[in-house]
Amino acid sequence: MRILVTGGAGFIGSNFVNATVRERPDVQVTVLDALTYAGSLSSLSAVRESIDFVEGDITDVDLVDALVAESDAVVHFAAESHNDNSLADPWPFLQTNVSGTYALLQAVRKHDVRYHHISTDEVYGDLALDDPAKFTEHTPYNPSSPYSSTKAASDMLVRAWIRSFGVRATLSNCSNNYGPYQHVEKFIPRQITNILNGVRPKLYGAGKNVRDWIHVEDHNSAVWRILESGETGRTYLIGADGELDNLSVVRMILELMGKDPDDFDHVTDRAGHDLRYAIDSSTLRTELGWEPRYTDFRQGLQATIDWYQDNHTWWETEKHDVEVRYAAQGA
Ligand code: NAD
Ligand code: TDX
């Protein structure tokens, strides 16, 4: 089987490629990645000899067409992925998330190639803090940010290409991932690397916002399960029942790193900040028999802290640029 992985040098994509090469010797992987600020070839160093790597943009229709023509399946991770960046400059989000997905859909349609679309729970908007409800496959789309609205738009394109052109596609909407190789702009790695640099963690607002954390390896095992056993045309929600408010996460990171749990700063809140995300993944569990393996968040967080501690060179350069950008926003 030959699979094309877009965004394979990013956080989730590189973990997917590393796991695939490790666990599935029968799969030949080609990565297509533009190596934006968020992509790094060093995340693929362990498997570099076993894969084909193409540096290129998913909006390049000729390149995408040629690569899709040679593939049995496409797993589409590539995206502009950070909400704060989408507030500062939405345009790259429109180009990559919407036009890039369009280019891929046209190519899989033309060559009749199986397609899996990676999306987010943020397309559903947010839930109230005191609402026991969770997102399901039937929750109406209601995105809040430029990032989530472009992800919602890309999901809509996939659904239309399934219905109108019979494209053999599945979609998955996953909750917040954590684990190794996550860019230091994101919440958990930002706080870990702040502490490693002797800087206090930065919490947006009061820290009451809730995210539903899942280890990246569990997200990727679900993607493989859907790719192999999912029904085309369907959307699957991926989550591991990991709801926690941001304040608790910051305090846990500080404690695990041997610091005073109150040793953090409150900074300017994100505009339009979604309150709570929560995923009901029962369909994936009952129909496809998937279960997460990382059920102890504290343990997964400790392993993630250890990874950042042991891999300074992976994040040091980006860290400086990211903090300059945050400082300009008062965050
Ligand atoms: P990331 O920002 O770490 O990585 C994105 C990758 O895509 C990078 O390697 C980047 O170079 C590449 N890329 C960006 N624009 C490109 C373009 N025009 N052409 C080719 N490559 C391009 O993102 P991530 O956190 O790994 O997210 C991967 C996917 O998972 C995204 O689709 C995101 O919406 C989705 N998702 C992420 C999370 C999360 O918690 N991180 C949760 C649910 C869904
Ligand atoms: O310094 C910070 N302080 C802080 O309190 C940062 C960077 C974030 N936060 C808060 C904002 C959120 O409530 O932490 C929470 C998590 O923030 P992010 O890591 O930016 O993630 P989020 O906005 O929830 O989106 C993530 O999950 C869904 C990914 O970035 C998306 O790509 C994915 O779709």
The domain defined by 2-178+213-238 folds into Rossmann fold (3.40.50)
Q: Residue 277, exposed/middle/buried by CB under 10 A (0-12, 13-18, 19+)? A: buried
Q: How far is the CA of 122 from the centre of ligand 2 (A)?
A: 11
Catalytic residue annotation: 121-122, 147
pLDDT given for residue 16 in this prediction: 99
pLDDT per residue over 17-59, tens digit each? 999 999 999 999 999 999 999 999 999 999 999 999 999 999 9
ipTM of the complex: 0.99
pLDDT per residue over 107-156, tens digit each? 999 999 999 999 999 999 999 999 999 999 999 999 999 999 999 999 99
**How do the domains of the chain map onto residue ranges?**
2-178+213-238
CB of 246 closer than 6 A to ligand 2? yes
Smallest Cα–Cα separation from 72: which of 109, 115, 105?
115
Task: Please give the chain's pLDDT, 331 residues, in tens.
Answer: 999 999 999 999 999 999 999 999 999 999 999 999 999 999 999 999 999 999 999 999 999 999 999 999 999 999 999 999 999 999 999 999 999 999 999 999 999 999 999 999 999 999 999 999 999 999 999 999 999 999 999 999 999 999 999 999 999 999 999 999 999 999 999 999 999 999 999 999 999 999 999 999 999 999 999 999 999 999 999 999 999 999 999 999 999 999 999 999 999 999 999 999 999 999 999 999 999 999 999 999 999 999 999 999 999 999 999 999 999 988 9
Best residue among 81, 97, 220 to mutate for probing ligand 1, ranked by most atoms within 8 Å of CB: 81
Best residue among 15, 18, 36 to mutate for probing ligand 1, ranked by most atoms within 8 Å of CB: 36
Q: How far is the CA of 14 from the centre of ligand 1 (A)?
A: 10
Residues framing ligand 1 (Cβ under 6 A) = 6-7, 9-13, 33-36, 38-39, 57-59, 77-81, 96, 100, 118, 120, 151, 174, 176-177, 183
